[in-house]
Amino acid sequence: MMMLANPARFQRLAAKLQPWTGAAAALLLASGLYYALLASPSDYQQGQTVRIMYVHVPSAWVAMAAYSTMAAGAALGLIWKHPLADLLARAAAPVGACFTFLCLVTGSLWGKPMWGTWWAWDARLTSMLILFFLYLGYMALAGAFDDPARGAKASSILALAGAVNIPIIKFSVDWWNTLHQPASVSRIGMPAIDPAMLLPLMLMSLGFMAFFVTLLLWRVRAELTGAKIRALRTLQLHEEREVR
């Protein structure tokens, strides 16, 4: 971890790593799509709508992974004032918001034919909606200050307070026995899902995760470059003043 602490070293490493994570994402998503749409059976109860699972569940996992990344960045930024940590949190937020949105919409498209409704105030659905609003609140707050450091501080506190929602999402299907089905992959013991469906689900999930890492590297590099531009501009202003 401390190896990455130096921004210049991080830039070099990220640039080197990125083609590999990008290639992994492309390969995993291509093979995942093949199994998800063509080479996997339809469900005996849900028919072909079960194929929505292969984009819905990975979106939900990335949405939660992005929030964990953001909260970890926020904590590191608040406690150690690490320059990379705030940038990491800022880079992860829009990606997480997009995948939360995808999770909500694909879930709705799955819920209509299977549950008979686009939306229900079920515990899992509601906590996912709260996650979406936490992302939006974080982004609004982070951009609301002229001084980026103050924006980072305020939004980091929001990100950490909102982190309590992550275990609530995870366990909502066990604590409240409502519409959304309980976990069938991350169970203790064997997953309650047929291997023919587990394979596309795992390929797509790994593909989504590799894609997320690729996006994150692009975005952290962009944030770092932006910080460098700001620093150089300030320096230039000071020099011009001295010349006069």
Partner 1 sequence: MHDFLAMDGYAAFVWPAYGLTFLVMAGLAVLSRRALRRREAELASLQARVRASRS
Q: Which residues bind partner 1 (CB under 8 A)?
A: 37-38, 42, 47-49, 51-52, 55-56, 59, 94-95, 98-99, 101-102, 105-106, 109-110, 112-113, 211, 214-215, 218-219, 221-222, 225-226, 228-229, 232-233, 235-236, 239
d(CA 129, CA 87): 25
Tokens of residue 101, six digits: 């949105």
Minimum distance from residue 211 beta carbon to partner 1 (Å): 7
For partner 1, the closer of residues 25 and 141 by Cβ is 25
Nearest distance, CB of residue 157 and partner 1, angstroms: 26
Report the SS3 class of residue 43: strand
Burial status of residue 208 (CB atoms within 10 A of its CB: 0-12, 13-18, 19 or more):
buried
CB of 236 to partner 1, least distance (A): 6
Nearer to partner 1 by Cβ, of 15 and 161: the residue is 15
Which pair of structure tokens corresponds to residue 221?
A: 């590099």
Kindly state the smallest distance separating residue 133's Cβ from partner 1, in Å: 18
Query: How near is the Cβ of 70 to partner 1 at its closest, in Å?
Result: 15
* Backbone angles phi and psi of 47, in degrees to 5: 60, -140
Cα 2 from chain centroid?
A: 23
Kindly list the distances between the CA atom of residue 91 and the CA atoms of 1, 95, 156, 213, in Å, as whole numbers in the listed order. Answer: 18, 8, 13, 11
Shortest CB 46 distance to partner 1, Å: 9
**Nearest CB to partner 1, comparing residues 102 and 142:** 102
Which residues lie across from 39 on neighbouring strands?
none
Q: Which is nearer to partner 1, 104 or 152 (CB)?
A: 104
Q: Which is closer to partner 1, CB of 26 or CB of 154? A: 26
Q: Return the structure tokens found at 225.
A: 């470059």
Taking the mean position of all CA atoms in its chain, how far away is CA 50? Answer: 23
If the CB atoms of residues 38 and 188 are measured against partner 1, the closer one turns out to be: 38
Phi, psi of 59 (to 5 degrees): -60, -45
